[in-house]
Structure 1
């Protein structure tokens, strides 16, 4: 083994939590790095790490009270499948949930310490730059797919000019999904830039990469993605930044509000718009699409139909994918989901399931916040979970397996953050400098 390969292995093994097996830790980290590029390649490593993490877990699944809502939700989901409107689709749709309930518990050994969560965050950031690079290449240099590896086992269908046209999508199928991924990684990228201890050269390199990262997120033209850029700033930077950051955000968001809200006098709106890029206020006000969209294609219509469906079958729901079947019958427009996760859960599996899972996520966020977020990367971790929660209020990026996997790993880390654990890594226990 060469000196270089030994050094690489030492870096990969650094910060391993006491609860994690050596090979499980290695597979988990490399899987995180590959996740943005390929769910298949990442799963080939993350699944073995999940098995090893489950084997090495210090407590059985049923002994942790935080798993109880997921266990109860699983039972209700399975019962509902027997009387579902969507038939076999209901059973297929369970793949979006039941394996990830297990992952929430099984991945916890790999994110059980602050050092491990920081290392995991850095792997997600590093693995996301192929998304940034291909997205910029797609828009600026005309890159296009399909690109394939392993004899066509993995294919990236990359549309020249973005999907939709003019919006960055990179290695993802659609710009909004690319934005969701970049948004959940953005708090970690920001934390990487401002962390203490970096040399001037390294900080300069990280700054260049973060600028490219923000540029890519802006070019997705996702309003949710733009909001995530702002949302993470005060959380990651922390209270010391608030005296100067909050006034800046208030002024900036105030100008944005004046420039996009209908009914504001032109005497105020025109100057506000002159201070902002037209692409931003135009996209937020939907001025380029005004009058073109019928009511049935809007979020409000989808949510209205969703509430009706929930009222008709509130306890066990209609079954997974039922919304995509029923909505066209009632409106004449097709949409694959309700663009709101609690509503989608309630339609598919009933109100009790929606309340159990939503309450679990909210409780994790609230308890973690009350415990305090003194560490930089723990604040970033909390911000990433909050960002995902907000994104799922108006869209459902979790249908992309990469976002779904990352989301449950983030929730696992948040569970570990609020549990008193031994915060030292295996390296520190052995007296090794990580």
Structure 2
């Protein structure tokens, strides 16, 4: 077992750091605490022996400048001490972006990391299905109550799968970021029939769980990643098929379409999909202040009032009720949330970094299957953060910065291989894949 864990350890990674990192990834979907007990030591070990100082990598410059502006802004923040507490959502992860890179510096290491995330996500799927289908409920405790899972019977909100997460949309965000990695695990060449059958069962469970979250963002991610992961060879047949399917869904939900046309189309599209997308069950009931448009409008106003250093972390949750009479914890858009909390320069620096990583990696070519899946996972997270903020869940946040670290490593010259003395058998042979 240890030999398999040590296989394809990147040149830059220490043996114990590599072990802690992989096992930490496996525990991450189930418990941020358990994962952190392993990932934090791996981060310390990689930082201690790193041959690439933080300040020498130009990709770290936007994060360094953003950190400086965030700290300056805290001194005059509207939200007081909450501004300093909110720094915990950012500064440690700026460090992690650099510190985790040795563990995802090679194609084999990224593939191994992807498979650990997929395998570790099975408890999320299992508990979510059990929650909806078999009435499982918590709280479940381990380690004397140090770790508690609050399982709501029937899901949270009612009827929507949430599993080990606090809310269905957060569970959907996790499943969405893992979905392209799971798809790559399924279609990689050379798997034996038995192994491919096992992976197929897991992927079917993933898709089922993601659909049952009833998250519109999650549903979109199922479609978004398909042409990316499957690659250009699939586009001649996949793109027309997706176009027809999406066309039917659009016709079934867009208001104003004649009933003579819409009714037969809705008979082809599952009612749960077009009903959820058209939000017909809430039509006319929601106040404007409860909608994304209202939240974004207020967010823009707040940024205009304090554009340079922002109001401080968590300020939106304090100010929004005062201006609208409705409470919301955040702006449901990451650049807007950053702009409110820390100012436009910080929002621009962080957003530009992510966009630049995606664009440069795409321009350099994504020839490997798991590199396409890795890129698709980052793109999915970026899209999700356009209308929600799942990064407030520490598990999603940690995974997101690890994915960004791997994307940064994609831009370096290839440094494939493993340490001398490393197990020579490749991950391909472990999975039954031809080298």
TM-score > 0.5, shorter chain as reference: yes
Deviation at 1:267, TM superposition (A): 1.5
Runs of 4+ in 1 over 3 A off after TM superposition: 422-434
Distance of 1:204 and 1:433 partners within structure 2: 17
Distance of 1:210 and 1:297 partners within structure 2: 35
Are the equivalent residues in 2 in contact too, given 1:16–1:427 (CA < 8 A)? no
Relative to the length of structure 2, the TM-score reads: 0.95
1:311-360 Cα offsets, whole Å, 9 max, x none, are: 00000000000000000000000000000000000000000000000000
Distance of 1:189 and 1:433 partners within structure 2: 19
Distance 1:330 1:430, change over 3 A: closer
Partner SS for 1:196: coil
Partner SS for 1:336: coil
Relative to the length of structure 1, the TM-score reads: 0.96
**Corresponding residue for residue 215 of structure 1:** 208
Q: Which runs of 5+ in 1 are unaligned?
A: 1-7
Are the equivalent residues in 2 in contact too, given 1:17–1:426 (CA < 8 A)? no
Deviation at 1:432, TM superposition (A): 16
Distance 1:392 1:320, change over 3 A: same
Are the equivalent residues in 2 in contact too, given 1:18–1:425 (CA < 8 A)? no
Distance of 1:324 and 1:339 partners within structure 2: 11
Distance of 2:38 and 2:2 partners within structure 1: 16
Distance 1:432 1:192, change over 3 A: closer
Distance 1:431 1:340, change over 3 A: closer
CA RMSD of aligned residues (A): 2.5
Q: Which runs of 5+ in 2 are unaligned?
A: 414-422
Distance 1:111 1:428, change over 3 A: farther
Deviation at 1:268, TM superposition (A): 1.4
Are the equivalent residues in 2 in contact too, given 1:114–1:423 (CA < 8 A)? no
Are the equivalent residues in 1 in contact too, given 2:190–2:434 (CA < 8 A)? no
Distance of 1:231 and 1:425 partners within structure 2: 31
Distance of 2:293 and 2:432 partners within structure 1: 58
1:254-274 Cα offsets, whole Å, 9 max, x none, are: 001000011111111111111
Distance of 1:261 and 1:423 partners within structure 2: 56
Distance of 2:433 and 2:231 partners within structure 1: 31
> Mean alpha-carbon deviation: is it higher for 264-273 or for 131-140?
264-273
Distance of 2:134 and 2:235 partners within structure 1: 39
Distance of 2:114 and 2:299 partners within structure 1: 36
Distance 1:91 1:266, change over 3 A: same
Are the equivalent residues in 2 in contact too, given 1:132–1:170 (CA < 8 A)? yes
Distance 1:302 1:423, change over 3 A: farther
Distance of 1:175 and 1:204 partners within structure 2: 28
Are the equivalent residues in 1 in contact too, given 2:7–2:424 (CA < 8 A)? no
Distance 1:167 1:431, change over 3 A: closer
Pick one of 140, 151, 154 that aligns with 1:147: 140
Are the equivalent residues in 2 in contact too, given 1:17–1:425 (CA < 8 A)? no
Are the equivalent residues in 1 in contact too, given 2:190–2:432 (CA < 8 A)? no
Are the equivalent residues in 2 in contact too, given 1:113–1:424 (CA < 8 A)? no
Distance 1:429 1:122, change over 3 A: closer
Distance 1:99 1:115, change over 3 A: same
1:82-116 Cα offsets, whole Å, 9 max, x none, are: 00000000000000000000000000000000000
Distance 1:17 1:428, change over 3 A: farther
> Mean alpha-carbon deviation: is it higher for 345-354 or for 197-206?
197-206
